[in-house]
Each structure stands twice: as C-alpha cells, then as structure tokens.
Amino acid sequence: MADPNPFLPEVTAFALTLHAMRSELVEIAQGWADLHSLYVAVERFYPTYAAVSLPLAAPVAAAVAEQDPVRRLCLRREPFFDGAINERQQTQWNPECLTIVLHPVSDDGLRATALTARSGDIDQLQEWAGLVREKALELHRGAYAIEPEHGGRQHVPEHFHTRGAHDLAAAGVPMLAAAGSAIYEFYDLT
C-alpha cells in the first residue's frame, strides 16, 4: 500500500439540506460570524464572478445588498485570500469553509439550499457540523418529496426548513428541490 500524499488530504464533507429565505441565511451567517469571530466572503456568479471578503464583524446583509446577486456565503476562521477569478479558485485558495448557498424566491418557487462544508481537517469539519446541528434544533423538520410527473411520494424526515420558508409554503409558494422537478410538502403543513 502506498503512503498517503500529504499534499492531498483526505476530504470529508457534510451538508444539511433545507428551505430558507435568503435573509434568514444571511442572518444565520452574521450570527455565526459575530459569535465565533469568523471571516465571511460573499460570492456573486452573475453577470461576472466576484468574491468579496469582509473584515471581521462586517455587516453581511449590507455586503450582500452591495454585491447582489450574491449566490454563496463562505465562513472561515482565517482571513480569505482575495483575487479568485472563479468559484473553483475561491474554494481552492480558501479551504476549510462553511458554505451557505443563497437561492431567491422565483416565479417557480423557492429552491432547497444547504449549509455545507468539505474539509481535510476533521476537527474543523466537526466544529462546522456542530454549529449546523445546533441551528437545526431551531428549525422545522420533515417533509414529503413529491415527484410531480408520476406522483411518487417519499418521506424525508431529515429535511429542514426555517420559519420564513414555512410561511411561504403556507401561502402557496412551491418548495422546490435543489435540482430536478421534485416539490416538498412540509410535515407541519400537511
């Protein structure tokens, strides 16, 4: 068996899939940044890619508004390396991030998002997972995933949603899968 390459650490990942409004996710990021002295970067993918790193304790909502349309927030312990020209370079130059994907409410509905991290540092990954688990205790839990073309219905007890997503769903806004055509119905609204 070959010795492991120290330059390519084994990477482990986790993700908490949920439905949440952008403003709620920004608020979560701000809370974690303030409470744990984390650096935040906002990423815009359209019309051109831009990653803007914020100083400690900077107002995340103001940066999101200034750089709109922001699609991703990244949090990390160390300052970000600036100058990335695309999202791959950003994640390569700034590993060990907790990432939050922001989806707007569209005419079709609200797409699922995730609080996610990848890391070769298991201690750091466990720290991120701990923050996410703690937040999950405050969220609504459980949904049915419905496949609209054929009517299939699947229990998804580990799917989470925020109060804002709950209110949107109660008002008739479809809760869409992150990709594909599935629609979620929350347990507490059925």
DSSP per-residue letters across 1-49: -PPP-TTS---EEEEEEEE--HHHHHHHHHHHHHHHT-EEEEEE-SSS-
Point out the least confidently predicted range of 3-7, 30-34, 139-143, 175-179: 3-7
pTM for this structure?
Answer: 0.91
Asked if residue 90 is part of any domain, the answer here is: yes
Range of the domain at 26: 12-138
Predicted local distance difference test score (pLDDT) of residue 1: 46
Asked if residue 186 is part of any domain, the answer here is: no
Averaged pLDDT for residues 154-168 = 96
Rounded to the nearest 10 degrees, the angle between the axes of helix 22-36 and helix 60-67 is 130
pLDDT tens figures, 8-28? 566 688 899 999 999 999 999
- What are the φ and ψ backbone dihedral angles of 100, each rounded to 5 degrees? -125, 120
What total number of domains does the chain contain? 1
Residue with token string 């990335």:
84
Percent over 70 (pLDDT), the chain? 94
Between 10 and 144, where is the model more confident? 144
Asked if residue 5 is part of any domain, the answer here is: no
Asked if residue 72 is part of any domain, the answer here is: yes
Asked if residue 87 is part of any domain, the answer here is: yes
pLDDT tens figures, 67-121? 999 999 999 999 999 999 999 999 889 988 999 999 999 999 999 999 999 888 8
167: confidence class by pLDDT, cuts 50, 70, 90? very high
Asked if residue 29 is part of any domain, the answer here is: yes
Asked if residue 41 is part of any domain, the answer here is: yes
Predicted local distance difference test score (pLDDT) of residue 150: 87
Asked if residue 190 is part of any domain, the answer here is: no
5: confidence class by pLDDT, cuts 50, 70, 90? low
Please give the single-letter amino acid code of residue 68. D
